[in-house]
Structure 1
């Protein structure tokens, strides 16, 4: 297998953190999004969507989308379990994973992609879209802080892929979007500090 990776973007970091939690190592080839390498003819010949990360299997199959890659790894290496041990737990973790992706990551990514100067070469920036997304992200952060007041982790009492998605999102986007996680969000602060002590956080 070969993992096409980017050192900075948060979505590839999700896969690296997931692999680190599993103790699984996969050879990597760096493809720098900031340099537009994901749009090169050579990369698009291998990965037509141009997505990063992408996992190339030994038979040539390409799996894109970070959660799909994590699902594949979970099937190969079920422990430590990060996506649910039974039908109920899998559904609950998937629910929270999708909430973190759709309600937190996407609004924050929208602000970043449509306002940050370094994204101008890669996006048709629409500042009005970012302006609409920023309050949505802030509102969702307030809700997440309330949620984390009653649980140790995003999807309940144990660490899962939902924590990985939220952690990699909040470690990257807020500071680039003019959003501060401070004492008004004490439970998120506590949770970020806790997740930050895991060895996988440095992946």
Structure 2
């Protein structure tokens, strides 16, 4: 039996897991789920992941991991090299803190801006099996969150190669994917944010981040 990865090439969340799988060099099969057509809401995929989201990772023993947090934790335990969640208590705390901050500020900022303003997502303002109406004010707030996060990130990266713990980590993967995806809401770091540009170019030079 082979590990099966449920992916969507156009979405940032499965890209995060895709990069982690590549960094850990985990053999797997990939199954593409078409989010645009709503395939994630169909009965076939609900049987795999009732949360109706990607990524999902089906393990050799049949267990299914249904979010990035679980996938990252399993990969780190099953494939400890290279370590992407930290190697000592401080590193683990620093990486976890930054990863949560990136998800909460940048990731949800982009998601709020996109899902609360895009006509094709009318009635689908949150991912998952339940329908939620759009709230335009949340789209405006999301755009502001993205701007504010980029400003803080550029300051933080001054003199740093990586975001947390002085090493490549899941925090870099998360931030890289959401920074790229911010283009969908017409947001990118400004030209003056040279620290972010340097950090992105360093990661982009790695083959795993070209996925």
**TM-score, normalised by the number of residues in structure 1:** 0.93
Out of 57-66 and 162-171, give the one that drifted further: 57-66
* 1:37-48 correspondence to structure 2 within 5 Å: 37-48=39-50
**Residue-by-residue CA offset, 1:103-145 (whole Å, 9 max, x unaligned):** 2111111111112344337433222210122112211110000
Q: Displacement, 1:27?
A: 1.0
Conserved in 1, the CA contact under 8 Å of 2:111 and 2:142?
A: no
Conserved in 2, the CA contact under 8 Å of 1:182 and 1:189?
A: no
Among 4, 7, 32, the alignment partner of 1:5 is 7
Work out the CA distance in 1 between the residues paired with 2:60 and 2:162.
35
Q: Does 1:182 align with 2:197?
A: no
Among 118, 123, 141, the alignment partner of 1:132 is 141
Work out the CA distance in 1 between the residues paired with 2:107 and 2:121.
16
Paired residue total: 202
Conserved in 1, the CA contact under 8 Å of 2:86 and 2:165?
A: no
Structure with more helix by fraction: 1
Q: Does 1:201 align with 2:209?
A: yes
Q: Does 1:82 align with 2:91?
A: no
Q: Give structure 1 regions of 4+ aligned residues with deviation exceeding 4 angstroms.
A: none
SS at the partner of 1:46? coil
Conserved in 2, the CA contact under 8 Å of 1:114 and 1:130?
A: yes
**TM-score, normalised by the number of residues in structure 2:** 0.90
